[in-house]
Amino acid sequence: MSRHFVPDSPTRFAWQIPAALILAMWASILSTDLYTPSLPDLDDVFGTTDRAVKLTMSVNFIGYAVGPLLVGPLADHFGRRKVLGIGLWLFALASVLCAIAPDIWTLIALRGLQGACGSVASVLCVVLIRDLFRGPEAVKVLSLYGASIGIAPAVGPLLGGIIHVWAGWWANFVLLSFLGIVAAMMVWRLIPEGGGGAPFNVLLSLRRYRRLLRNTVFLRFALAIGATFAGLFAYITVGPYLFIERFGIATEDYGFYYGASVLAYILGATAANRLAHRVSAFGLTKIGAAFGIAGAIVFLGITVAEALTALSMLCAMSLFSLGLGILFAAAPVLMFANVPKALGATAGVLFSIGQSAGAALGAGSVALLHDDRPEILAVVMLGFAAFAAGLVFAGPVIETEQEE
């Protein structure tokens, strides 16, 4: 698979190409949480239960986890631009169909399709940036890309709450469809084709996945990150019900409360970056896991003590998110340092799948429990945080990079 298809005039689209890829990724990220402020109202809209509504979250993440299994082989065979463009068009179609879904079960199925199509951008955008830019340009574009997609989770619920109040829950999916169409057109117009021509070989990808799953260090930290993501997305699924219905927070204001947790995550990632030259990646990973379990314990403590308020819950979740930011910044270093370079791309796809699977497990667990009591959420989060911490503290790890 060729990785050298830099356009003849790389400065011609100096900002348009990153803009196209960032927009594609924004559409993908926003699809997970843009409509979360609408969740408490969907019970009445569709005449259904909280459990069914929450499944629209967990099934979306399942689609997000399954999609990447085919993205790699498809991109190798048909080319990255073509697969990304088609994925965005299908994402736009799935989004508009979500907006007109006649019942909750149709919406659940379409959310799974939307997640699978959205995963195309999550897999291919970074690959395209690395293919299209070199040296200092690559650093600048990746930094801009990282900062931009870091903002998206905070903007989503805030924007979604405003749209819900002004137009209704369905308008959030119309916006996602519009973003997908614009991104698809930009990708088709601006991104040069590259790769393609390789045989469509899913079995080869599966053999690579199997080899990675036998790598105990990779699996250990991938599961730790997945478990922490599970705790986070359990909170994201139940959070709107607690803030809006229990604490009386206005739907359009929910995004501010959710955004505070995102800012804590960014703070944790920034702290990890600043401490990287003084603390080992393993040391930072242990610090992140400790903060995560501390946040979950504080959350459980204030619920048992009947001291739960919107502010106290926000503080506990910010502590949890701070730990996730540190963990997510450091743990992948340990994972990829113990993966042969020949399997780097496959490890990246499997890592993405692990995050999505963790998110699906977290959202699905609270949906199946069918209980919005904060005590249940706190126990679920503590269970996932404890599992992650147990994996991190299970033993030492050698931070050496493998060649093959």
Could you give the C-alpha distances from 391 to 217, 218, 338, 348, 364, in angstroms and in order?
10, 11, 16, 20, 22
Can you give the pLDDT at residue 343? 62
- Give the architecture-level CATH label for domain 10-200: Up-down Bundle (1.20)
- How many other CB atoms are there within 10 angstroms of residue 166's CB atom? 9
CB 19 within 8 Å of CB 187: no
Tokens 């400790």 locate to 290
Instruction: For residue 6, give the 3-state DSSP assignment.
Output: coil
CB crowding 55-77: b at 16 or more within 10 Å, else e: bbbbbbbbbbbbbbbbbbbbbbb
How far is it, in rounded angstroms, from Cα 83 to Cα 96? 20
Query: What residues does CATH 1.20.1250.20 cover in the chain?
Result: 10-200, 204-394
Instruction: For residue 400, give the 3-state DSSP assignment.
Output: coil
For the chain, which residues score pLDDT lower than 70? Answer: 1-14, 130, 134-136, 138-140, 142-144, 146-147, 150, 194-200, 341-348, 351, 370-372, 398-404
CA 88 to centroid of chain Cα atoms:
17
Could you give the C-alpha distances from 76 to 1, 70, 318, 342, in angstroms and in order?
6, 10, 40, 15
- Residue of 173, 148, 151 whose CA lies nearest to 45: 173
CB 263 within 8 Å of CB 151: no
Can you give the pLDDT at residue 333? 77
- Give the architecture-level CATH label for domain 204-394: Up-down Bundle (1.20)
How far is it, in rounded angstroms, from Cα 184 to Cα 179? 8
pTM of the model: 0.77
Can you give the pLDDT at residue 194? 65
Q: Per the structure block, which two tokens stand in for 127? A: 């690959």
Q: Per the structure block, which two tokens stand in for 401? A: 């990079």
Can you give the pLDDT at residue 142? 64
Q: Which residues contact 44 (CB under 8 A, 6 or more apart)?
A: none
Q: Per the structure block, which two tokens stand in for 325? A: 């930011």
DSSP designation for 343: G
CA 281 to centroid of chain Cα atoms:
22
Tokens 């069914």 locate to 52
Instruction: For residue 193, give the 3-state DSSP assignment.
Output: coil
Q: Per the structure block, which two tokens stand in for 52? A: 């069914």
How far is it, in rounded angstroms, from Cα 72 to Cα 70? 6
How far is it, in rounded angstroms, from Cα 16 to Cα 23? 10
Q: Which residues contact 6 (CB under 8 A, 6 or more apart)?
A: 131, 132, 133, 134, 192
